[in-house]
Structure 1
Amino acid sequence: MRAKEFRQLVTTLAREGAPVEPRCPHANECGGCAFQDRTYADQVAAKASALSRVFAAAGIPLPTGPQVSVVPSPDPFSYRTRMDYVATKGRFGLRARGKFNFIIELQTCHLIPPSAFAVAHKLWLTAQILGLPDYNVRSHVGFLRYIVVRRSPNERLLLAAVTAAGAYDEAMEQLAATALAQPQVASFYWLLNDSLTDLSFGQPLRHWGQELLTMGSTPGQLLIGPNTFFQNNIHLLDQLCAAVLAATTASGKPVRVADLYGGVGTLALHLAPHVGMVDCVEAVAESAALAERNGAAAGITNFRAIAQDVLPFLREQSPAAYPVVVADPPRTGLGPEVCAELLRLGPQRIIYVSCNPLTQCEDLHVLAAAYRLTALTGYDMFPHTPHVETLAILERHV
């Protein structure tokens, strides 16, 4: 099964559920939501069924029977910590479902609080008044590509304008002033993406207001920037962190833990007070630097932020160096080489968080040479979409 087929499976199963009146009038055409017009309980059931089918088809025995459970989001709306709104051809919104070049013009959006969307929309309207031309994704002419919203649990916002190159310094100053005049806005960034690649990330040219956005976490506070990764469900993250902690300490206090693909330290810093030492390994230098800064700000001394690719880091370690390994890789998964290194190192437990159950299944097949799956749980980090997060617990059996 390919990723597209999995998404289609979830969508088909969800659409078999009971219809409801969607909050958004564009719910049946906007790419931000796939099935907002179905009950949330049916959405969660569809994801549980799809996961069960995928793992069964992959021949991976489930420890609790044929059905995977999926933890629902406490609120299926206003859950996202990041939204990227497109500005093109005089429209502001999200791409139409299945139509990359067509933008659904939005007046509100329920994936973030409507008040946060209103700030982003006001920023785009101001850009229009200031003469900042939208970017045309077909002709590659224009300036303003995206308005990005990053949002903290206490509803503070970091906004970013992603642009092509252009001599609009004075107008961008005025746009920043408009952004910071909104009471919930802490930061405004100007990010440059002058390539032909359609990305909502870019090189920071300037920022106004606070340098970073503070995200609630335990312990202390996590700082993120405009380009750094952070889990996108503001309501469900604490439950996922708690589950990772419970699995990490299930057999007592481990002496050392490796947190692979650790980002800004979200999981590692949550684990640190309960383990001997935790190494947070992150290839993106900006995120690794923030992880180190976050650890220092929290006063945590049994924590190391290591700016290195995961594979060479693992190759430098001795067998049994880590009793527990936590991994939260990108959608491509761990891959055969990282799995081979984990088999060589032989941690007693591997705690594997995945945003792609298909690549996770591939990795579990490789790791089955020495590990058995003892728990598998889904987390609905992206309500109204076909995406689902999974948490797999592996125990060494040889």
Structure 2
Amino acid sequence: MARKEKRDDVFVEIEIETLGFEGVAIGRHDGKVILCKGALPGERVLVRLLKNHKKHVDAEVVELRSTSNDRRTPPCPHFGVCGGCTWQHLAEDRQSEWKRQHVIDAFERLGRIPFGEMTSLRSPEKTYGYRNKMEFSFGASAWLTREEIHSGEEFTTSFALGLHVPGRFDKVRNITSCLLHADAADRILSHTHALAAEYRISAHNQRSHVGFARHLLLRSSATTGSILTALITTTPSSDAEIAFVNAWMNQATDLPEGSTLIHAVSNSRSPVAIGSIEKSVGPGYLEEVSHGVTYRISPFSFFQTNTFHLPILVGEALDGADIRAEDVVWDLYCGTGTLSLPAARRSHRVIGAELVQSSIDDARANAERNSITNVDFHTVDLHAPAAIDVLKSWQQPDVVIVDPPRNGMHPQVVAHLLSVAAPTIVYVSCNPATQARDCAVLHEAYDVVRVTPVDMFPQTWHVESVAILKRRVGQ
């Protein structure tokens, strides 16, 4: 039954039936689909209706009327606010089941194509403290919960350092520790908070584009324990700002051996956490080892964020590729060579393409450091029309590996892969929905013979998926 408290507030009680893409809880009321966050299947919840769409209504949970046996108490005080660990309240064995189901749903409901074996999800041993990279933002507008607003306590809202609230680019939740990254990274985050308060530093306002402090990047090595951290600001213009940067850079002696501190400057309007390096203490990069390959990782290069579980992901991709010693392999969206370099040790030649120049620089350095000579890396924007001419100049591949960003492959890349007609395509994806979409196009000539979900992001709804595609005989 629906009830009203304010003129614009409508509340209904629903039973949650299932979990959908991006972890959203799904129920129904009067034949209408209701979507909300934070609830679990089998629970009865009171929700406030927020926005009416053609096929569903967005809502927020106001009260749990009954709870699921799968519910647990989240260990993080920021759960439900910062937008990071959206499934901390769901038992880990059930997280695994739902992630696998979401991959199945992507291929059956979105891609609408047949697939062969859907393996069990490859779960990690380490479910907290696994992230090797976190990006925290400074903000000029701190987010407060309803409880904090009505508590009567006074809060400073003109400065925050933490994570963005979902759906609000201008609102940041103050966070001094995070359960997902290394303990040493927590110390830097907390120390940065203290220094910013001591020197009365202003946070960058994403609306007006004024303010000094912008981002705090924290990277850690699971192999060495070293930390790479970058403080990104606008150009310092006051004595306090200069003193703050110098004080922040002076914490190098308190970090693990081999660590790096960087001050970078960005005066751009872009919210991306990247800048021009002005000061640096330490080697300037991290090292990780996976599949017998040592990787150099620069401050702003892409590298899989869960090093502990990375060997499982790489192993699934390479074993599925079934690479022979005489094979030529393409690795599109290759990053720093996470897949390219192990593949090179199994093949005749690997050719990699990546947009980010720093990642290509790292990939080349990684190849040299590991004495891998049968791999070529190219800086290519695969979404630009000119990319196809570049790909046409490459040697015909026997295996193509793709690991695109969340948006998936550009349509021109998918179309070109159909014309290239490699016998095997290995599609690694952090978004099963776009993976299934692209595989549906490739289904014109390829069969999806196996899909393996890999849980690289425990406590969240995110899941990696490795799909093995084989070209049909006669196509």
TM-score normalised over the length of structure 2: 0.77
- Per-residue Cα deviation, 1:223-278 (whole angstroms, up to 9, x for no partner): 1111111111122111011111212226x334211111111111111111111111
Distance 1:30 1:242 in 2: 33
* Residue of structure 2 in register with 1:41 after alignment: 93
* Residue of structure 2 in register with 1:155 after alignment: 225
Moved more, 151-160 or 132-141: 132-141
**Does 2:80 align with 1:7?**
no
* Partner residue of 1:241 out of 298, 314, 329: 314
Deviation at 1:208, TM superposition (A): 1.9
Gaps of 5+ in 1: none
Contact 1:145 1:162 in 2 (8 A): yes
Contact 2:316 2:452 in 1 (8 A): no
Distance 1:55 1:231 in 2: 24
- The structure with the larger Rg is 2
* Residue of structure 2 in register with 1:302 after alignment: 374
Contact 2:265 2:278 in 1 (8 A): yes
Distance 1:76 1:176 in 2: 31
Secondary structure at the residue paired with 1:69? coil
Contact 1:124 1:147 in 2 (8 A): no
Distance 1:319 1:369 in 2: 23
- Per-residue Cα deviation, 1:281-339 (whole angstroms, up to 9, x for no partner): 11221111111111001111111122223464554437981100111111221122111
Secondary structure at the residue paired with 1:70? coil
Q: Tell me: higher relative CO, structure 1 or 2? Use CA pairs within 8 A at least 6 residues apart.
A: 1
* Partner residue of 1:381 out of 449, 456, 467: 456
- Per-residue Cα deviation, 1:25-68 (whole angstroms, up to 9, x for no partner): 2213221111211111111211112222221113111212xx66
Query: CA distance change for structure 1 residues 165 and 109 in 2, over 3 Å: closer, same or farther?
Result: same
* Residue of structure 2 in register with 1:229 after alignment: 302
Contact 1:320 1:345 in 2 (8 A): no
* Partner residue of 2:170 out of 87, 93, 101: 101
Answer 1 or 2: which has greater helix percent: 1
Give the share of equivalent positions with the same residue, in percent: 30
Distance 1:99 1:240 in 2: 32
- Per-residue Cα deviation, 1:187-223 (whole angstroms, up to 9, x for no partner): 1112222223322222323322112111222333111
Amino acid at match of 2:230: A
Contact 1:123 1:179 in 2 (8 A): no
Moved more, 350-359 or 68-77: 68-77
* Partner residue of 1:137 out of 206, 219, 242: 206
* Residue of structure 2 in register with 1:71 after alignment: 122
Alignment of 1:1-398 (within 5 A): 6-9=21-24, 15-16=40-41, 18-57=70-109, 58-64=111-117, 69-88=120-139, 89-153=158-222, 154-167=224-237, 168-183=241-256, 186-249=259-322, 252-310=324-382, 312=386, 314-315=388-389, 316-317=391-392, 321-397=396-472, 398=475
Amino acid at match of 1:26: H
Contact 1:143 1:163 in 2 (8 A): yes
Amino acid at match of 1:189: I
Give the alignment's Cα RMSD to 1 decimal: 2.4
Contact 2:119 2:450 in 1 (8 A): no
Query: CA distance change for structure 1 residues 171 and 193 in 2, over 3 Å: closer, same or farther?
Result: same
Query: CA distance change for structure 1 residues 309 and 87 in 2, over 3 Å: closer, same or farther?
Result: closer
Query: CA distance change for structure 1 residues 313 and 44 in 2, over 3 Å: closer, same or farther?
Result: same
Amino acid at match of 2:77: P
Deviation at 1:148, TM superposition (A): 0.9
Secondary structure at the residue paired with 1:235? coil
Distance 1:160 1:131 in 2: 20
Gaps of 5+ in 2: 1-19, 26-35, 42-67, 140-157
Distance 1:97 1:289 in 2: 33
TM-score normalised over the length of structure 1: 0.91
Count of aligned pairs: 392
Deviation at 1:359, TM superposition (A): 1.6
